[in-house]
Amino acid sequence: MNGMASDHNTSSQEEYLPHYLQKEDPFASKLSREADIIAGFYLTVIGILSTLGNGYVIFMSSKRKKKLRPAEIMTVNLAVCDLGISVVGKPFSIISFFSHRWVFGWMGCRWYGWAGFFFGCGSLITMTAVSLDRYLKICHLSYGTWLKRHHAFICLAIIWAYATFWATVPFAGVGSYAPEPFGTSCTLDWWLAQASVAGQAFILSILFFCLLFPTAVIVFSYVKIILKVKSSTKEVAHYDTRIQNSHILEMKLTKVAMLICAGFLIAWIPYAVVSVWSAFGQPDSVPIQFSVVPTLLAKSAAMYNPIIYQVIDCKFACCRSGGLKTLQKKSSLKKSRMYTISAHRDSTAMNETQLGV
């Protein structure tokens, strides 16, 4: 019986054909022309806002590149990933939606899928590194102080190598990139899991190393931070004022990182759920009209980050300027006190000299 069942499963896997092989033209849109036009306008707005926002973040950061903190360097890298998605990927999908079909063929499909996966993976791994940096800075003050700028650049090299490896693995013959069921976009070939055990192993590896493990690290880091914050006030109170001010700034940077990670996960989790269901659920059980919504939501993730960063960064600037004014006031008070004391000493000395005469 077990042998018959395994033979049946093997034959069903061999007989299964993904959606892009079932029809003569896999790149023809399965949506109405009106729906494609709406999606095209939506992606155009998202692409413009994302390009302007992330470009602004990179431009402003380049003006003070020598003063960027490690966490800010990571934020700039996140802006680079989001800008890459907007500049390299979105024009392909926008043109295809307005054309009512994917017009770039299989070569363009594979390039588009690689670029989207590469920059998306780079964004998630960058946020994972940021969450670990926040965890060390908030939960282990003594260990967080040794994290310097050169450590951030080493981390960036690891992030880009990691994203390059996993995005390029499908070209080695263990995976592939394929058109989405609605026809006007391309993605990782999740449907390989329906075809063979090797395909299942590939998809599971991608899910673990490029989604589940990074997300688990992010959740762990911020849960530990939230628990630590409750007792941090008493602990930091024992340090001097300089360390207390630094800790306040680290907490504000942590809030930015938490909001960015939350926005990214909220945008991408629906797409991940639909993709996993396409890979391991009943073949072709996800309605085409339903599959396009998570895809469009995921493509909007690149727009949120610069908005979050810039809005809260304005508060940082106010805090920094306020802190600077406070230091200047303290410095001027010290100078005035020294002048008063010295003047008082001089007048006292003059009076004593006159009395002596």
Query: pLDDT tens-digit profile of 51-85?
Result: 999 998 899 888 888 888 887 888 899 999 999 99
Q: Number of C-alpha atoms within 13 angstroms, CB side, residue 260?
A: 34
How many Cβ atoms sit within 10 Å of the Cβ of residue 12?
Answer: 12
Sketch out the chain's domains with CATH numbers: 33-231+255-320 (1.20.1070.10)
Higher pLDDT, 197 or 230: 197
pLDDT at 352: 36
pLDDT at 69: 82
pLDDT at 40: 95
Higher pLDDT, 198 or 236: 198
Mean pLDDT of 191-201: 87
- 178 forms bridges with which residues in the sheet? 187
Mean pLDDT of 303-325: 58
Q: What is the 3-state secondary structure (H, E, C) of 182-240?
A: CCCCEEECHHHHHCCHHHHHHHHHHHHHHHHHHHHHHHHHHHHHHHHHHHHHHHHCCCC
User: Is the confidence at residue 214, as pLDDT, over 90?
Assistant: yes
Cβ proximity of 59 and 111 under 8 Å? no
pLDDT at 14: 52
pLDDT at 282: 77
**Phi first, then psi: what are they for 157, rounded to 5°?**
-60, -40
Q: What tens digit of pLDDT does each residue of 266-296 get?
A: 888 999 899 888 888 876 777 887 889 999 9
Share of the chain above pLDDT 70, in %: 73
pLDDT at 137: 80
Residues 6+ apart with CB under 8 A from 192: 18, 175, 176, 198, 199, 200, 202, 203, 279
Reported pTM: 0.79
pLDDT at 125: 95
pLDDT at 5: 42
